[in-house]
Structure 1
């Protein structure tokens, strides 16, 4: 399996899946057909999940087939079913990030963190930037200063002149994120600013390696995210940020296959606060 990040150039940190199971075909082998590669991908992700859920599965199996199913947790109180309102709340706080480098340019996304003009995006979007600008929901282009970046978490903070068109987004309580709840990925995939795609939280605390040797937890989603979505927010049905879109899993270098990863909001908030404090 090959994977890419979501920015322009560079394309972002490499997502490294768990090691292959000996009974599954090697999906990096081009002689293996597309159908087997998809089945193998599902198997690989299942192996990763088994490290977390194996104990519970074994417990339920030991109780026999007549065991009562585990109760499904109720969604957080006050979650609206209409995502239109959530999108309307989020869009004024999401920007397109335009980067100029010595070898060309790149683009990504970001969101407004506070009323002082701080914007959160990904490190890989602005790495090596000669100049950075952002375009808000009103179409105005603003010159941005890079306050600081953290390659380990793939978080960066920019600063622009505050204005009424840049509305800070609300950060969610990470303890309230639930598997199966509806989410929106907001950003500028392929330069198409103000794009919103819908999905669900596929997994929380997914242990992955995003370009480094250290595993870290990520929010997994099936909301369609593509190159250019990097740094944009993953929001819940209340319009609150639950993560920063960072990487997608792909097959044969293609686009989104419904497996995307976001830096959890609590880590993004902690890293951003540190960068602002030092900057």
Structure 2
């Protein structure tokens, strides 16, 4: 009998980590690590360009409810793209953005589009975030290498690598159906809203959900909202909200 396959969004709720082993920030498990395959130099360069523009999104709601995820700067006006479900799971509470250097800023919610699961935030100019370049719509190809960048399980600046596994994958999240970029880059709770970038450091999608068997975490099937939809929705929100 096949185990039940579910698609789940990736906000971390109330600061909790899903089951399984989680490393502390200061240490690593014992034993001999497995040999890693060589990492292409262009991915190292892409990671270095991307991490400075990626933030942690922290939402505090009523009754102590909270949620966290990721986001990234999209222009020099300090607009940040993230997932709407992070705000919803935080019960629409106050939003704080934590930068890679540890500074925190209260964020304005410029606008939200729940059907697309996208939201746009804005922080003061003093944040000085570097905007990430966006890939050209329609340019993403199956098999090309990609990086997922974000704050899984509260670990900011985490970078994982994989490939584009499929395009136009139909995925249902809640009451809405999405056409998604599928990837095998490891993504976990807290990656929501973070960028999926190609080897040139261009954003090809917004990491949003994973497939999981019986709720047991990532199985190497993740989904990102494609950049053409992201750009269209963000432009509309920014145009309305400033």
Give yes or no for contact 2:61–2:94 (8 Å, CA) kept in 1.
yes
Partner of 1:211 in structure 2? 174
Q: Could you report, residue by residue, the CA deviation over 1:46-77 in whole angstroms, capped at 9, with x for unpaired residues? A: xxxxxxxxxxxxxxxxxxxxxxxxxxxxxxxx
Does residue 109 of structure 2 align to residue 149 of structure 1?
A: no
The answer to whether structure 1 residue 98 and structure 2 residue 54 are counterparts is no
Q: Distance in 2 between matches of 1:10 and 1:277?
A: 32
Which structure has the larger Rg?
Answer: 1
User: Residue by residue, what CA displacement relative to the aligned partner does 1:95-127 show, whole Å, maximum 9, x if unpaired?
Assistant: 000110113211100000111110000000112
Alignment root-mean-square deviation, CA:
1.6
- Name the residue aligned to 1:196: 159
SS in 2 for 1:176: coil
For residues 126 and 201 of structure 2, the distance between their equivalents in structure 1, rounded to whole angstroms, comes to 20
Change in 2 beyond 3 A, CA 1:6/1:173 = same
User: Partner residue of 2:36?
Assistant: none
| In 2: Cα distance, 1:155 partner to 1:196 partner | 22
2:14 & 2:103 partners in 1: Cα distance?
25
Where is the helix percentage greater, Structure 1 or Structure 2? 1
Of Structure 1 and Structure 2, the greater strand share is in 2
**TM-superposed deviation, 1:235:** 0.3
> Could you give the per-residue CA deviations for residues 128-153 of structure 1, whole angstroms, max 9, x where no partner exists?
22210111111110110111111111
| Matching residue of 2:200 | 238
Whole-angstrom CA distance in 2 between matches of 1:237 and 1:81: 9
Contact 1:10–1:125 (CA under 8 A) maintained in structure 2: no
Equivalent in the alignment of 1:124: 85
Matched, 1:114 2:75: yes
202-211 or 158-167, larger mean C-alpha shift: 158-167
> TM-score normalized by structure 2?
0.83
Change (3 A) 1:164 1:10: closer
Tell me by how many angstroms 1:163 deviates: 3.4
2:227 is aligned to 265
Kindly state the Cα deviation for residue 228 of structure 1 after the two structures are TM-superposed. Answer: 0.2
For 1:91 and 1:156, the matched residues in 2 are separated by 20
How far is the alpha carbon of 1:164 from its aligned partner? 6.1
Contact 1:224 1:258 in 2 (8 A): yes
Gaps of 5+ in 2: 16-39
Q: Distance in 1 between matches of 2:107 and 2:202?
A: 24
Residues 142-182 of structure 1 show CA distances to partners (whole Å, capped at 9, x for unaligned) of 11011111111100000100236410000001221010100
Mapped contact 1:185–1:233 kept (Cα < 8 A): yes
Counterpart of 2:184 (choices 222, 228, 234) is 222
1:138 and 1:81 map into 2 onto residues whose CA distance is 24
Task: Give the aligned partner of residue 19 of structure 2.
Answer: none
1:46 alignment counterpart: none
Using the size of structure 1 for normalisation, the TM-score is 0.72
